[in-house]
Each structure stands twice: as C-alpha cells, then as structure tokens.
C-alpha cells in the first residue's frame, strides 16, 4: 500500500510536542552574544545624533552598532553609487529614517538582559521631516508600479468601456482591506557565526538559498562561504520568504563583536521591519445581462507601499482568470507611505483580490435575484480566459456541487434577513477559492544504506506545513521502503537546492525532485541485482523489477526476491546514492495550472451587539492529488481559520500622527483563537493533476484562505442586509 495519500501523522510530531525540535533561536553555540535592535521613534527624517558612549560602558555590553560604526556593505551587482545592498532593507548604512520602528542601532551584550538594559540608554536625537501616513491622501498621488513581466500593472481585453455602457445590469463598488501582519508563532530570529570568511546563519526562514544569496552579496563573499541552517520554522505565512534587515544586522554585529550573535525579534518588532500585507482599495465595475451573463469586469486597485522599496499587492491576478467574460480591464497602482516595506502574506493578491471580486459577484447575484452559485456557474471559465489555454485540471463545478450538498445550501432562502435562529440572524454565504499552481526547479538526493534504510534530502523547509512527512511518504513509496526506514533532511544550504517555500509550491516543486532522486537510487540498486549472479533477481529485466517493503522482486515472478540490504551487503556494503532534479516543462506554455474551491460560510449575527460568530464553514477543493489526508486537511483548515481572521478580526492599527503601530502585540492585534472557530468541514476532489507534475499534486498552502473573507461578508449580508465592504467586519460596522 502506498504511503502517499494516506492520513499519516507528522514524522516530526513527537520531536515537536516534546520540545526537541530546535528552532533558529534555540541553537546553543559557545560564546554566544545577545543582540537587540533599537528602532526609530519617528516616521520620517534623520538620526541627527546617537550617543552610545554611556550604553557602551554598561555592564556586559560588547558593542553598540550604529550607522557610524556598522560594517559597510557591498552594493548589489551592477548597481552604482550609494544604493543599499538589498533595497528593501535598512542596514545602518546611513542616518535616514523612513518609518517608525525602523532599525537604527543594534546593542550586543553577554546576556539578553544586559543588551536590553543598554538599549534603553541610547540617546537618540532626530531631525524630523513631514511623514506621509494617510492612505487616503497618498492615493491621490498614486503611481504605477515598476514593470514586472509576470505582473502587468494594466491589462485589458475586449471593449471594457463600451461593454459597461451597454450592460443592462451594472455594479460599481469599492472595497478596502487594511494593513495586516503575519504573526507566525515563532518570531523571526537569526544566530550568526563567522569563522574567518565563512558565515553560518541559523535562521527562521522560508528561503535558505535566498538568505545565502543576499548575505553573500552583501558581504562580498562567494555563496559557498555562507551556510544557512533552518530545520524547523514556526510558521511563516510569507514574512519569512524575504531576507529582512535583522538577518544581515546579526551577521554585521557578529563581525564587530568577534563572537556569534543571536538576534531574535520581539513580537512588537514583527510589525514593520519584516513586511506586512499592504492596505488596498479596490473598485469593481461589473456589467452583465439580465440572465447574469457577464459582459465586463473592471478591477482598479491601489495598494500601499513604502518609500524604501516597492511591493505591489497583486489583487487583480484572480480577477483576470476567474470568469468567462469577453471584456476586462484591470489596473494596479501604488500609494507610498512612511511604513516598512510590504510583502507577500497568505495568498498575496488572491486573498484580498478575491474578497473584492467574490463579494461583488454576490452583490450582482442579489441585484439579479439569482442564486450566487448559479451566477458563478453561468460564467464558468472552461479555459484560462486570460491566456486562452486549457487548465491542467479544473473541477470547480464538482467543488460547488459537493460543498453545497454537505452544507445544505438548497435550504437557503434568497432574501437577506429571511433566516433566523431565535433572536440571532442567520446568514449563508458562498465564494470561489482560487490559487495558481506554482512550480519551480528543485534538486534532491537519495541514499540507500547497507542496513536497508535510506536518507533523502533537499534544501527545502518545514514551516509546520508537513514537508518532512510528505517528502518521507514520497521517498518511501519510490524506494519501496516503509516510512519508518526513511529519514528526510531539509533546511540546510549544504543539501541540494530547493526554491523558496512560498507561493504554495513546495510539494509541487520539491516532491518531483525527491521522487526522481529516490527512483534513481532504486534503479541503481535494481541494476546491481539483475547483474549479480548470486541474486535471485539475476538476469531479470530491470523494468520488471519492483521494490516494496524493503525488498526487490520480479513483478512477473514475485518469488524471485531479495532484501535490499542483502544486495548492498554482497557489494561491499557501500551505500547507493543518486541525485536528481525536476523542473517545470512545456506544460507551462500549453496550460494554466490553477487550484479551485468553493467555500460556504454560516454566520450568526447578534442584531443588538453586531457580533458575528461563524459556527460552520464547509469547503471543497480541487488541488490535484492530496498527498497526506491528515496534514493536508489540517493545512486547508488552517487557511480557512486565517480567512476568518481576515474577515472578522485582523487589522494593524496605524497612528496617523506618529506612524507608530498601535496594536503591535498579540493582545490587541486579534487573530482567531479556538473559541472563535466552529465546525470546519474540508473535502477535496482528489483527482491527480498529471498535466502539472508526476505527482499530480498542486499546492495547498494558500488556497484555504482565499474566498473566505468574501464568503463571510456575503453571509453577513445574507443575515443582515448590510453590505460591509471594508475589512475586517467588526461589530461597530454592523450597528
């Protein structure tokens, strides 16, 4: 029986619950010094002076690093003059301040307490300049993002203006989403240790090879002189996909201190210096016939960015592919604020974009007095309407059918406010979930040992998503070994290179490489066996040999078999190794790979208090083959939980006077807790997407959050008749 697809417990679960899985900040190194970052208290201006003399003399202090004494870093290759090494970063190369909370100094001491104590005694004076903090003002001067080939700022097809003018049914609505922060359980942390020109970084990251590249470039050393180690990551959600300032600051501080340095961000520092989901304002104009057939969609978006570097929240990407619609126009603009650089967060673009698009579709359905599922199916995109190519697979109809059946959608009455439970208003909402199937080149290595066990590796990441487990399943099946005999290694740049664990691409990218490496190692062993006169498999056709449960056997004559360990033993006990890579091919041109789902949300709204509870979410997804029924389901549920947070709770509150984040902690920045979550019922279609890769698996990291905020707001409308177009849907907006 194959391991892939089963509901299998996490292979690293025991390590985690017993506290033996070590995270970045937990590596014990001799002579480890402790660093804290001191951050700016103004949003824009310059550090006029920074007096560290007193702090530097305090007990235990090793060094105080400011822009005066920080090591100078190399500008990026091909860049000229004073361009900083990584444009998104602030690395104490000058005295400029571009957001409140920006790193302006690092204090290193023998203990964390001494470092904190000294940090409080730095005397900083500023020259303030006017700060742009108001999105509504900044958007007046919004501008186009830098051109990115995959992310066009403007797209158009058909005749949007004409179609809008002629459409019998028109909708013109504006949605907004707030600034949000990722807040993984494990804050960012880096331990940096130099050995001459060699640098080792123990880092909490979704991208070990990315960190290595940025560090090597900044310090002007070869990439092979930098080792990044990250065996366990306590959640990322996108903020650990980029190499942020603290990583390089830790390495710079370690240079000055002459010893390894640990720099762990405080929870407060998770708001600002390590990215955020930018604010968006999205205008949706839809034109349709009276029967609901879409004629045109226009989606104009503005998202916030920083003065340090640009980031565009790609809200329109989902709109360009979601519906069959002849005319379409989309635009992306940026409003620049004195805030930290925004970044990818939990389905960047798809989650904020699907909120606007899928709520607008619900508004259209209500205007037409149509069932919202019927409206969506009436405009079903049989092909990718943007590139006019077939999908690698799309079972969205089945998602709506199965989801609606389990939810009991047929019992829904159309009119808002028409369903009640006691004194509470009951609302049922639906939305489409969608996320692209991403894939990048990856490498892996597999070794079968003399005792019949195997080690398989790839420099990927375990964010709590189940990578160790799923890769072990894939390798075990391909090697013909029980999972207990296979050890999977990841999170080290000494291992074969894998891409960033972002964009929901780890299984789809690393999985095929692991499969190829394991198959190659097995094939080597098969080759040895069939050529070995002493083996019962001698002379068999290699293609007729199979591996299972630690044995090789001839498929057409299964009694001809031998344990793998016996074959290796007869050949001197040398382990059998193979390396392999896998990468996307021509299918990228021929098809569009995309995952889909249908999300059904039930809300109960207290008409006097405006509180919204979510007793039930039912969702059904087409994500190709689900690799592990247990970890996969958990991941999809986790995405839905984040969607409930996005819909009802999450908002980073900015003080418009100072640029300070007012709720930079987990008491005031609300995320869903167990008490907020009712029943979440997740199902998958499960059909393997073999056009996409050998495994037939797309990715499930991000699709779970998409569509949830829309389905929630649609349910709130169905319950109350109030259309809340500004997230999060808090009680004040419903009263």
Interface with ligand MOS by CB under 6 A: which residues? 206, 236-238, 241, 344-346, 348, 502-503
The C-alpha atoms of residue 727 and residue 651 are separated, in whole angstroms, by 8
Sign of the CA dihedral with 554 first, then 555, 556, and 559 last: positive
Helix pair angle (629-648, 708-720), 10° resolution:
50
Please say which residue, 231 or 502, places its beta carbon nearer to ligand MOS. 502
Closest separation between CB of residue 702 and ligand MOS, Å? Answer: 6
**Positive/negative CA dihedral, 49, 54, 58, 62:** positive
Q: Between 347 and 361, whose beta carbon lies closer to ligand MOS? A: 347
**Closer to ligand MOS at the Cβ: 237 or 244?**
237
Q: Is 347 left (phi over 0), alpha (psi -120 to 50) or beta?
A: left
H-type alpha helices, 345-466: 350-367, 372-378, 396-407
Query: 101: cis peptide before it, omega within 30°?
Result: no
Indicate the residue among 237 and 323 with the shorter CB distance to ligand MOS. Answer: 237
Which residues partner with 586 through β-bridges?
none
Instruction: Give the 3-state secondary structure of 557-605.
Output: EEEEEEEHHHHHHHCCCCCEEEEEEECCCCHHHHCECEEEEEEEEEEEE
Please name every residue paired with 605 in a beta bridge, in sequence order, or none if there are none: 425, 612
CB 623, min distance to ligand MOS, A: 16
Eight-class DSSP state of 497: B
Minimum Å gap between C-beta 727 and ligand MOS is 17
C-beta of 207: minimal distance to ligand MOS in Å?
9
Task: Output the residue with the shortest Cβ distance to ligand MOS.
Answer: 238
702 is an active site residue:
yes
The two tokens of residue 141 are 């001067």
In the complex, what is the shortest distance from the CB of residue 505 to ligand MOS, in angstroms, rounded to a whole number? 8
Catalytic residue of the set 350, 363, 462, 702: 702
Given the complex with ligand MOS, which of 323 and 344 has the nearer CB atom?
A: 344
Instruction: Compare residues 122 and 345 and give the one whose CB is closer to ligand MOS.
Output: 345
61-65, strands of its sheet edge to edge:
61-65, 103-109, 33-39, 261-264, 189-195, 198-203, 226-229
Whichever of 348 and 464 has its CB closer to ligand MOS, that residue is: 348
The CA distance from 356 to 455, in Å, is 46
Least distance CB 461 / ligand MOS (angstroms): 10
Token pair 């989650």 is found at 351
Region of 636 (left: φ > 0; alpha: ψ -120 to 50; beta: rest) is alpha
Residue 330 to residues 148, 166, 370, 560: CA-CA distances in angstroms?
A: 15, 19, 26, 64
- Min dist. Cβ of residue 277 to ligand MOS (A): 9
The catalytic site residues sit at 702
């Amino acid at each position: 029986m194959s391991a892939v697809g089963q509901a299998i417990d996490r292979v690293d679960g025991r390590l985690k619950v017993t506290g033996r899985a070590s995270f970045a900040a937990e590596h014990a190194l001799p002579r480890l010094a402790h660093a804290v970052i001191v951050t700016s208290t103004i949003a824009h201006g310059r550090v006029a002076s920074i007096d560290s003399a007193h702090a530097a003399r305090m007990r235990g202090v090793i060094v105080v690093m400011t822009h005066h004494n920080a090591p100078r870093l190399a500008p990026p290759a091909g860049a000229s003059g004073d361009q900083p090494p990584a444009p998104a970063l602030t690395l104490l190369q000058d005295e400029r301040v571009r957001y409140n909370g920006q790193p302006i100094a690092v204090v290193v001491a023998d203990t964390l307490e001494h470092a904190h104590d000294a940090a409080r005694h730095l005397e900083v004076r500023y020259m303030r300049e006017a700060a742009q903090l108001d999105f509504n003002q900044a958007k007046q001067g919004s501008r186009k993002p830098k051109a990115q080939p995959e992310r066009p700022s403007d797209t158009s097809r058909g005749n949007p203006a004409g179609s809008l003018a002629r459409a019998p049914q028109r909708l013109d609505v504006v949605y907004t989403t707030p600034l949000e922060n990722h807040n993984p359980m494990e804050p960012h942390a880096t331990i940096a240790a130099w050995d001459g020109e060699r640098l080792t970084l123990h880092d909490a990251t979704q991208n070990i090879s990315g960190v290595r590249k940025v560090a090597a470039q900044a310090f002007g050393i070869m990439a092979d002189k930098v080792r990044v180690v990250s065996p366990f990551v306590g959640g990322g959600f996108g903020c650990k996909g980029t190499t942020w300032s603290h990583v390089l600051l830790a390495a710079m501080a370690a240079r000055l201190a002459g010893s390894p340095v640990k720099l762990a961000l405080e929870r407060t520092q998770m708001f600002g210096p390590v990215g955020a989901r930018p604010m968006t304002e999205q205008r949706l104009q839809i034109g349709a016939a009276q029967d609901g057939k879409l004629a045109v969609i226009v989606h104009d978006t503005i998202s916030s960015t920083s003065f340090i570097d640009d980031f565009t929240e790609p809200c329109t990407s989902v709109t360009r592919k979601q519906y069959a619609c002849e005319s379409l126009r989309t635009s992306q603009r940026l409003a620049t604020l004195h805030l930290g650089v925004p970044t990818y967060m939990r389905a960047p673009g798809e989650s904020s974009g699907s909120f606007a698009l899928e709520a607008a579709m619900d508004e259209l359905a209500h205007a037409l007095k149509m069932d919202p599922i019927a409206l969506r199916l009436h405009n079903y995109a049989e092909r990718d309407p943007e590139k006019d190519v077939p999908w690698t697979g799309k079972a969205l109809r089945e998602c709506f059918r199965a989801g609606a059946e389990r939810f009991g959608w047929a019992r829904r009455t159309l009119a808002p406010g028409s369903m009640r439970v006691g004194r509470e208003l009951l609302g049922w909402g639906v939305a489409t979930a969608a996320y692209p199937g991403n894939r990048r080149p990856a490498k892996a290595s597999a070794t079968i040992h003399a005792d019949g066990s195997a080690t398989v590796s790839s420099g990927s990441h375990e964010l709590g998503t189940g990578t160790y487990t799923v890769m072990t399943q894939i390798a075990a099946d391909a090697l013909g070994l029980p999972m207990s005999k296979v050890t999977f290694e990841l999170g080290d740049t000494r291992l074969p290179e894998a891409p960033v664990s972002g964009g929901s691409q780890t299984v789809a990218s690393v999985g095929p490489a692991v499969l190829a490496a394991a198959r190659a190692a097995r094939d080597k062993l098969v080759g040895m066996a069939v050529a070995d006169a002493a083996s019962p498999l001698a002379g068999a056709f290699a293609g007729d040999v199979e591996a299972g449960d630690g044995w090789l056997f001839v498929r057409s004559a299964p009694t001809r078999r031998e344990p793998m360990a016996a074959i290796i033993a007869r050949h001197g006990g040398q382990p059998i190794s193979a390396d392999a890579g896998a990468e996307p091919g021509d299918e990228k041109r021929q098809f569009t790979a995309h995952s889909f789902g249908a999300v059904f949300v039930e809300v109960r709204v207290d008409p006097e208090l405006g509180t919204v509870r979510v007793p039930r979410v039912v969702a059904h997804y087409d994500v190709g083959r689900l690799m592990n029924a247990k970890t996969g389901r958990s991941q999809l549920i986790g995405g839905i939980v984040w969607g409930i947070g996005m819909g009802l709770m999450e908002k980073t509150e900015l003080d418009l006077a100072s640029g300070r984040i007012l709720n930079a902690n987990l008491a005031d920045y609300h995320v869903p807790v167990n008490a907020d979550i009712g029943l979440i019922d997740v199902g998958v279609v499960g059909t393997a997407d073999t056009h996409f890769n050998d495994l037939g698996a797309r990715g499930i990291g991000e699709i779970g959050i998409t569509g949830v905020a829309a389905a929630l707001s649609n349910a709130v409308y169905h319950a109350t008749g109030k259309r809340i177009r500004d997230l999060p849907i808090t009680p004040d907006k419903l009263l």
